[in-house]
C-alpha cells in the first residue's frame, strides 16, 4: 500500500502561481510513477502531468505544457506540481496518484491504484 497526501491548493488570481505537494508513505515510493489529475466542476477527472520513478521523464497535458512543471524528490517521498500562469480553466480539485503505468496508460486514471484525497485550486479571473 502507498498512502498519499496532497496539499498546496488555494485561491489565486489568474496569472498567479501555486505549488502542489504529494507526500507519500508506505511502500517504496521511488518504485512508482506519480501523476496529477484534476476534476473541474461537472467534468470527469483529467490527466494533468506525470513523472516516472526516476524523475527523468515527465508527461504533460497539452493544456498545461509550458506552464506546469512536475518534479519529485524520492529522498523526501514527495512529488511537486509547480503551476504558473494559472487560468480560470485550471480550477478544480487536484489529485495525485501513484502506480506503475506504461507509456500507453500514463494518462489514464485506472493505471493508478493509489490516490490522494485531493486539494482544491481556485483561480479568480
> 40-92: per-residue pLDDT in tens?
989 999 999 999 988 789 999 999 999 999 999 988 999 999 999 999 999 99
Cell triple for residue 109?
Answer: 486514471
Nearest to 32 by CA among 118, 121, 112, 88: 112
- Please check the confidence at residue 28 and state whether its pLDDT lies above 80: no
pLDDT computed for residue 83 by the predictor: 98
Percent of the chain with pLDDT over 90: 86
Amino acid at each position: 500500500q502507498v498512502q498519499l497526501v496532497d496539499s498546496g491548493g488555494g485561491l489565486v488570481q489568474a496569472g498567479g502561481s501555486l505549488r502542489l505537494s504529494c507526500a507519500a508513505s508506505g511502500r517504496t515510493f521511488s518504485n512508482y510513477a506519480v501523476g496529477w489529475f484534476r476534476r473541474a466542476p461537472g467534468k470527469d477527472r483529467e490527466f494533468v502531468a506525470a513523472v516516472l520513478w526516476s524523475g527523468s521523464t515527465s508527461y504533460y497535458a497539452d493544456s498545461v505544457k509550458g506552464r506546469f512543471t512536475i518534479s519529485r524528490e524520492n529522498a523526501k517521498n514527495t512529488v511537486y506540481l509547480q503551476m504558473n500562469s494559472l487560468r480560470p480553466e485550471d480550477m478544480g480539485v487536484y489529485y495525485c496518484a501513484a502506480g506503475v503505468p506504461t507509456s500507453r496508460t500514463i494518462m489514464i486514471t485506472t493505471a493508478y491504484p493509489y490516490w490522494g484525497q485531493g486539494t482544491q485550486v481556485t483561480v479568480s479571473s
